[in-house]
Chains A and B, each alone.
Chain A
Amino acid sequence: MVPRRHTIEMPGKDRSSVDNTAPSETTAPDRRHFLRTLGAGGVASALAVAISASRANASQMSTPNTNAASVGGNAGSAGGSGAGEGSGSNGSNGGQSGATPNSISPDGSDTSIPVTAGGSAATATASTAPAPATTTTIAAPAQPIPADLPLLKFALQYELAIAGTYDAAISRLDDSSLTLDAALVPVVRVFRQHHIAYGQALSGLIGKTAPVSANQVLLKSMVGPFQAGAPADFLTAAAALENTAVATHLSILAKIASTDGATLLASIVPIEARHAIVFELALGSTELIPTTGTENLTLALDPSKYPAE
């Protein structure tokens, strides 16, 4: 009888020295070797197929939001899955995988970084993959980078200061020292609530280091016409306040790298522009739309003059 096994594994024995050769395995290549090779080959082939598919997707559309950004972002937020898991190692920052925080300069100059097509998956294999057929640019970072934070904190405290000016007007409406058209009274309260919502949204974007109060210097500089004066003075000041907010946010928009921050500011600006129109209509203004078709950025406040408190 042929022994079915020559030795058995010993406690503590080095497995590498154990002879596990089956009786039938006498020459190489044997069945085990074949299976092992087949398995490794399968993995390699599957990886190649995945990379090819990812590259094909990227070649169809290389706009950042549709491939590189969204794939990386989804992978990051989901903790890494599918094609994006190659570089989506940082959960919340998955959207900026491959895009270093320095990829967008503070002055907003050219920020694009040529990489292989295929988004984050291709980025992970860029060092070993053959030369790409096409190139694209990595999307800007989704989350705020350190250079964005002072600007976003300023925007937050600015919004809360604007809400504070409306508080002053609402106090006067409550004690009847300010009289407005009845239709405008609830509108003033709504606009105040909007600005608080903007502050809350910016706070959520900034995170734990977000300021929690209005910038007092800003508040004091703006609140005067809201504390006293005729209704027309209030309307004029409120329109100017909103127009200045529009210009200020647009100036910040030109400087921040974060797409999340940009998207948030871009959702605030048109509504503040509409706020201004409401007050200008109440004033009977006829010059409602800038003839140039663009906003007047010369009204913008300089954030560096109002450091976060």
Chain B
Amino acid sequence: MSNMDITPSASSASPARVPAAHGESADGIDRRHLLRLGGFSIAAAVVIAACGSDSIVGTPLSGSAPAIPAAGAGTYGDVTLLRTATSLHYSDIDAIDVAMATAGLDPKIAAFATSYAKTMKAQADFLAQATTAAGGTPYTKPNPRFTSVVITPALALLAVSSSPTTDAARFIESIVSHNAETAQFFVGILNKAPLRSTMMQVGSVHARAAAVLASMITPENIVTDSQVAVAALPAATTPPSTVVVAQVTVPGSVTPTTKASSSPDIPVYQVPSAFGTQSAVQLVLGNKDKLTDDVKRQTLNFETLFLNSFVSDTAT
């Protein structure tokens, strides 16, 4: 007896469509097989995921790893950014105050910095008012993390600098540029359009101040050589920027180095680029005659403030 009860019309069926056995198609995969594979695969994935630890597993470390700090309590939004921007001004005011004590600082730069510190206080007040208008509580203290992680170490290097007067001037220019960049960065993450304008009403003034300071540090540096090269191209309306950039040396693009004595000063320009950048502001500080890490001349990166430097809405 045949194991299949073939009906007469089955003769017209393609042999390929006749299941081999137990409902399996000729190619060996049918719905049942698919269900079996899919079910077990997904179930296994769920079981494995459920068995995983809640802790973050990263690259194995030898010794004791520092604890990863949790995010601050509260919410993060436009008010957070306004409070953070305000706090940055207080950090910068304090930093300028310390840098101003550097003996031999160019009187022109000292006078401008003294005046600009007052302007920064007015800007902090302006941002504090915007914070209140946005429904938040102004934060009128220095940014804890920026001050501790960036300003304090930089001032320590300035204190042992082998060229303190120029370093102090460059330090002030750097933190003002950094403040401008941070405002520019915050524009992209602010929700409310009027607050973006508020932020840049302050940020562009910082850019002006940075240009003034750059003119005092290196008056001959107005624009970079690369910008001049691009502008001099015959087809200036559609410059092949990628090619040009490959042909010229960008003076500001100094690769950070850990070798103390080989860190040249980072050039500063009144107009350093065609568009405002958000890259880290680089500054070389320290003593070129020292070799220990805490005092040797080295390149610092002032990054725009982000998550770990935000002042949450409930921070006091």
Binding site for B on A (CB under 8 A): 1, 3-11, 20, 22, 32, 35-36, 38-39, 41-43, 45-46, 49, 60-66, 69, 104, 108-112, 136-137, 139-140, 183-184, 186-187, 189-194, 196-197, 200-201, 246, 250-251, 253-257, 259, 262-263, 265-278, 281, 288-295, 297
Contacts and interface: CB of A to CB of B under 8 A. Distances in A.
B12 A11 contact: yes
Nearest to A106: B193
Contacts of B239: 193
A266 B276 contact: yes
Of B50, B231, B238, most buried by chain A (CB within 10 Å of CB) is B231
A281 B46 contact: no
A41 B17 CA distance: 31
Nearest to B177: A270
Contacts, number: 275
B236 A270 contact: no
Interface stretch (B71-79, B94-102, B151-159, B254-262): B71-79
B220 to A, nearest CB: 7
Interface in B181-215: 183-184, 187-194, 196-212, 215
A61 B76 contact: yes
B38 interface: yes
A190 B119 contact: no
B292 interface: no
Given A263-B187, A270-B204, A294-B126, A253 B39 contact: no
B193 A270 contact: no
B228 interface: yes
Contacts of A197: 274-275
A140 B189 CA distance: 9
B193 A290 contact: no
Interface in B210-260: 210-212, 215, 220, 222-223, 227-228, 230-232, 236-239
Contacts of B3: 1, 3-5
B71 A267 contact: no
A253 B207 contact: no
Contacts of B21: 4-5
B6 to A, nearest CB: 7
A39 B39 contact: yes
Q: Which 6 A-B pairs have the closest CB atoms?
A: A42-B42, A39-B39, A270-B207, A254-B197, A108-B193, A293-B123
Interface in B12-52: 12-14, 17-19, 21-23, 32, 35-36, 38-43, 45-46, 49-50
B144 to A, nearest CB: 18
A63 B309 CA distance: 13
A111 B192 contact: yes
If over half of A's interface residues share one DSSP class (helix, strand or loop), that class is named, otherwise mixed; here it is helix
Nearest to A278: B270
Given A263-B187, A293-B119, A294-B202, A5 B4 contact: yes
Given A61-B307, A270-B180, A289-B212, A8 B231 contact: no
Interface of B: 1, 3-7, 9-10, 12-14, 17-19, 21-23, 32, 35-36, 38-43, 45-46, 49-50, 71, 75-77, 80-81, 115-116, 119-120, 122-123, 126, 180, 183-184, 187-194, 196-212, 215, 220, 222-223, 227-228, 230-232, 236-239, 270-271, 273-277, 307, 310
Given A8-B18, A277-B212, A288-B212, A36 B39 contact: yes
Of A36, A267, A270, most buried by chain B (CB within 10 Å of CB) is A270
Contacts of B115: 289
Nearest to A23: B22
14 contacts: A5-B21, A39-B38, A45-B46, A46-B49, A62-B76, A69-B189, A112-B77, A186-B223, A190-B271, A193-B227, A193-B274, A263-B187, A270-B184, A273-B208
B188 A250 contact: no
Contacts of A20: 23
Contact of A266 (B116, B203, B208): B203
Contact of B191 (A112, A290, A292): A112
A91 B267 CA distance: 41
A139 B36 CA distance: 42
Nearest to A39: B39
A253 B193 contact: yes
A42 B39 contact: yes
A270 B43 CA distance: 55
Contacts of A111: 191-193
B204 to A, nearest CB: 4
Contact of B13 (A11, A262, A290, A293): A11
B9 A10 contact: yes
Given A46-B45, A253-B196, A292-B122, A8 B184 contact: no
Contacts of B12: 11
B19 A295 contact: no
B196 A262 contact: yes
A38 B43 contact: yes
B174 to A, nearest CB: 15
A142 to B, nearest CB: 9
A254 B194 contact: yes
Contacts of A32: 32, 35
A53 to B, nearest CB: 9
A103 B222 CA distance: 42
A5 B116 CA distance: 91
Given A3-B3, A108-B194, A183-B222, A259 B49 contact: no
Contacts of B200: 250, 253, 265-266, 269-270, 295
Contacts of B43: 38-39, 41-42
Contact of A108 (B32, B76, B192): B192
Contacts of A190: 223, 227-228, 230-231, 271
